[in-house]
A and B are shown apart, each in its own frame.
Chain A
Amino acid sequence: MSDRRSRFEQLVLPHLDAAYNLARWLTRNDHDAEDVAQEAMLRAYRFADGLRGEARPWLLAIVRNACMSWLQANRPAELAGALDAEAADAEPDRAEGPEALAARAIDRRLLNEAIAALPPHFREVLVLRELEELAYKDIARIVGVPIGTVMSRLARARRLLADSARVIARAAKAKVAE
């Protein structure tokens, strides 16, 4: 077995679940997530010799870039919100303080829909923080932005999530009432 192969199997392959989870949340469907995750894993294999430091953020940076290329090619409209994200980075949080959805007021399906409905730049920081439990510095490295931007995007993501969860819950209620 080659050095690269054993290095890849020891250091990178254990993080396949994290790779797929990120790809699945960014592509929002199983089929494309498998394709993108596989492509990213093969790229990671080719670059395994260049791996320094922790493997998981390194791998997720590759997966994230593969997802962004995929979105650019297949869902350009979703990425059009990127400029809004930049504007949000500069804009301070609402003065009345952070909003949040009430844990009990929302079921699993609504929560998943609300996360999936977030613009990709906010969805990725939320998934990396809450589901992968990564440190801000790792998220900054993966997304390729300063730590301060990670902070403001995460704050914005959490507030958008609270807002959209409320909208979805209201829509669902209206549907039942019809």
Chain B
Amino acid sequence: MIPQEAARLLHAYLDGELDPANSRALEAELADSAELRAALERLRAQSEAIRGSADYHAAPAALRARLGAALGEGGGARRSWTRAWRGAAALAAGAAAGVLLTLWLLRPAADAGLARELVESHVRATLGGRLYDVASSDQHTVKPWLSARLPYSPPVADFSQHGFELVGARLDFVSGRRVAVLVYQRRRHMIDAYVWPQAGAPAVRAGERDGFNVEQVSHDGMRFVLVSDLNRNELDDLARLIAAAQ
């Protein structure tokens, strides 16, 4: 039988809303109880089903037009859209600034600088719409493209069957050197996976941020740092997939 408290916390855990101390305690219970693990998997599957299949009702064009008329739209749609876009960019930049401050406060100094650089790179790529230089879900296209441009050949894997679709890759500068960035997509979220060779890098480490989550994992002599606005649990799933990849 599943303890009542664990059953209650399972939802918050699934939603990435459980504080670290309770998360650790629940993870210990999960390790001990197949029943609890099965319950978590059922909940996760249901949540996936809702997000993947339930209708998302976007605003109809007629409503936009009615609103425009009601607000006395005079400047033309294009201008207002440019302004809306600029506003969104300013907001995202503001959010990024908030994140950077959090990173600075929470991380040991060296990692803070790195995480800040990576979040900046991720935000720049997202805002500029330059998420990838090579668009492909085929690892056999992405891998040679990267190795031709780098002094190393990063492992590239597609995790589509787990809901993380490889959509492309780009090159970016981190701490003054060129690194590979694999770009994954999950629903509407983009995930940047920065990869470079580094032996003895830390095992899985996660950071909780108010806008972006940053997660590190080492595998196959490479260090992976994942940056995304995806929730922590799902980003953690991707980190585990990468760590387990051949």
Interfacial residues, chain A to chain B (CB-CB below 8 A): 1, 5-6, 8-11, 13-14, 16-17, 19-21, 24-25, 30, 33-34, 37-38, 41-42, 45, 55, 92-103, 106-108, 111-112, 115, 126, 129-131, 133, 135-136, 151-152, 154-155, 158, 161-162
Contact = CB atoms under 8 A, between A and B. Distances in A.
B67 A38 contact: yes
B83 interface: yes
A16 B67 contact: yes
Given A10-B84, A97-B7, A16 B59 contact: yes
Given A20-B60, A38-B67, A100-B45, 18 more contacts: A10-B86, A34-B62, A34-B63, A38-B63, A41-B67, A92-B4, A97-B1, A98-B7, A99-B42, A100-B46, A101-B46, A102-B45, A103-B48, A112-B55, A115-B54, A151-B8, A151-B11, A161-B50
B66 A34 contact: yes
B42 A100 contact: yes
13 contacts: A21-B58, A38-B63, A38-B66, A42-B71, A45-B71, A92-B4, A95-B7, A103-B49, A106-B49, A111-B53, A130-B51, A135-B17, A136-B12
Interface string B80-114: 10011011101100000000000000000000000
Interface in B2-58: 2, 4, 6-8, 10-12, 15, 17, 35-36, 39, 42-43, 45-51, 53-58
A20 B59 contact: yes
Contact of A136 (B1, B17, B60, B91): B17
B75 interface: yes
Contacts of A102: 42, 45-46
A24 B47 CA distance: 20
Given A16-B59, A155-B8, A131 B50 contact: yes
Contacts of A112: 54-55
Nearest to A95: B4
B64 interface: yes
B231 interface: yes
A158 B43 CA distance: 8
Interface majority SS (helix, strand, loop, mixed), chain A: helix
Contacts of A152: 8
B86 to A, nearest CB: 7
Contacts of A136: 12, 15, 17
B87 A98 contact: no
Contacts of B36: 97
B85 to A, nearest CB: 8
A96 B2 contact: yes
A51 to B, nearest CB: 12
Contact of B10 (A1, A13, A98): A98
B60 A10 contact: no
B237 to A, nearest CB: 15
Nearest to B90: A10
B53 A151 contact: no
Contact of B35 (A8, A34, A97, A131): A97
Given A6-B83, A14-B84, A131 B17 contact: no
A62 B43 CA distance: 30
B70 interface: yes
B74 to A, nearest CB: 9
Q: Which 6 A-B pairs have the closest CB atoms?
A: A10-B87, A97-B2, A100-B42, A20-B59, A24-B57, A100-B46
B12 to A, nearest CB: 6
Contacts of A17: 56, 58-59
Contact of A100 (B43, B63, B86): B43
Contact of B50 (A9, A19, A37, A126): A126
A20 B67 CA distance: 12
A135 B213 CA distance: 14
